[in-house]
Amino acid sequence: MLNISKISISKYIDRTQYKSYKKLGKRTNSKVLNRIMFVTLIITIASMFLPWTQNIRSRGYVSTLNPYDKPQNIQALIGGQIQKWYVIEGDTVSIGDTIVILTEAKADYLDPQILQNTKEQQNAKIESAKAYEIKRNFLKDQMIALRNNQASKLDQIEIKQEQLNLEEQTLNLELEAAKTYELNATNQLQRMESMYSKGIKSLTDLETKKLSLREASAKVLSVTNKLNKLENDRNNLDQQVVIVNSDTEEKLAKIESEIKSSDSYIFSLQGETSKLQSKYNQIAQRQGSFVITSPINGKINKVLKNGIGEYVKPQESIATIVPTNYQKAVELYITPNDMPLIKKGKKVRMQFDGWPAIVFSGWPNNSFGTFGGEVFTIDNEISDNGKYRILVVEDDSEKSWPDLIRIGSGVQGLLLLNDVRIYYEIWRQLNGFPPDFYTGDQEKKIKRKAPLKKIK
């Protein structure tokens, strides 16, 4: 009863007669509850001093460490039509196993004898080049013959010049003798005329001396004419030398021009031969590229081109393959705020999607279903999602990652930092402070490299 009325009736009621009043009058004071609350308080206070591992949570996915271990596309080197498939999705193949065979679909290569025809064209160019090489050698021999002929003609002209010199010397002697004879004849004629005028000699003797003088003068004139003729012959020989040299040089220039033309054509034929050889190799390579084989040991993941007779473009993907054996890695993405805490070799606990696990973030050793790893590398450039990517590999000191996890599956990562007390972690979280950057061992390493020198 509340007894809020001024007129109370409590004194008129016998409460002992009613069970309800008896129960209301009893006060319960459980000692067990008090003990439970006290023990709970003690346990809570004690747990504040338990160790707690600071960590950074991040999300990522399973990848591979090596670039050649990643899923890749099988591409057609050349275009063509699909003739036959040798695999289906899910097949396991080895290096060199045939994936698909294509047939030629380009009009320029539909000739069934294209390799033979190309080789014959190349051989024809080679033979033509050899013929021009022979012609070039003949022209060089002709040049040598011309030079020899020039030397021979010049030698002949030189011999004739020497003969003319000898003949000139003889004529000069004859001229001197003729002049002497003419002088003697003139003196004799003068004496004969003197004697004839005195009547000592007859007219016949006088006319004889006049005839002798004319003969001597004729002899002088004859020898002089011969000397003039020799001079003309010498000039003709000099002119012949010029003509021989000029004619020879003209012919040599013409032959050299033909040799240069032959060389140019030979080089052109060699270039065409190289082009035909390149074309031949391309055709041979093209015909060998119609059989598309597996570049790695792996499993056919997906066929991108279907059916028979479908056209495939050059460098077009026709299937995807996933390597059979590869080194797994995990790509995790860290916020820029947590990046200063990440170092190579840091320990990581990971929970793979689809793999049952019970995770205690502060007590990683007590977690169930998680796997160990360590940071392998850290990107220096931020990703498109505004976070930094790190690669995590298996920790050799712990159990191996499950073989059933696949590339691309999700991963929840816990990057382990310092071990602190729970009360400190609660205080840090309430105040919004970042995790501790240095561990105890790292703090000990931060020392002065060299002691300061004392001032003398």
CA distance 304 to 79: 15
Write down the mean pLDDT value for the chain: 80
Residue 434, pLDDT > 70, answer: no
Q: Judge whether 71-104+290-322 and 114-288 match in fold.
A: no
Model confidence band, residue 335 (pLDDT cutoffs 50, 70, 90): confident
Model confidence band, residue 449 (pLDDT cutoffs 50, 70, 90): very low
Which DSSP helix (H) or strand (E) runs through 253?
A: helix 203-288
Domain segments of the chain as ranges: 51-68+326-438, 71-104+290-322, 114-288
| Assigned superfamily of 51-68+326-438 | Efflux pump adaptor protein, beta barrel domain (2.40.30.170)
Torsion of CA 371, 373, 378, 379, to 10 degrees: -40
47-72 residue pLDDT tens: 777 776 666 778 888 888 887 777 88
Q: What is the DSSP letter of 395?
A: -
236-263 residue pLDDT tens: 888 888 898 899 899 899 999 998 998 8
Q: What is the DSSP letter of 51?
A: E
SS3 374: strand
Give this prediction's pTM: 0.52
Tokens of 321: 């393959």
CA distance 321 to 73: 6
136-189 residue pLDDT tens: 899 989 999 989 998 988 888 888 888 888 888 888 888 888 888 888 888 887
Instruction: Tell me how far apart the 2 most distant CA atoms of the chain are, in Å.
Output: 237
The residue with tokens 């997906």 is 302
Residue 294, pLDDT > 60, answer: yes
Model confidence band, residue 9 (pLDDT cutoffs 50, 70, 90): low
Torsion of CA 204, 208, 213, 216, to 10 degrees: 170
How confident is the model at residue 356, as a pLDDT? 67
Q: What CATH number is given for 114-288 in this structure?
A: 1.10.287.620
Tokens of 139: 């022209």
How confident is the model at residue 453, as a pLDDT? 39
Model confidence band, residue 8 (pLDDT cutoffs 50, 70, 90): low
How confident is the model at residue 447, as a pLDDT? 37
Residue 362, pLDDT > 70, answer: no
Model confidence band, residue 456 (pLDDT cutoffs 50, 70, 90): very low
How would DSSP label each residue in 32-54?
HHHHHHHHHHHHHHHHTTSEEEE
How many CA atoms, within 13 angstroms, populate the side-chain half-sphere of residue 38?
Answer: 6
- Give domain 71-104+290-322's CATH architecture: Beta Barrel (2.40)
SS3 381: coil
| Alpha carbon distance, N-terminus to C-terminus of the chain | 95
How confident is the model at residue 28, as a pLDDT? 54
Main-chain dihedrals φ then ψ at residue 402, nearest 5 degrees? -65, 140
**How much is the average pLDDT of 413-442?**
64
**How much is the average pLDDT of 384-398?**
87
Tokens of 65: 């460490």
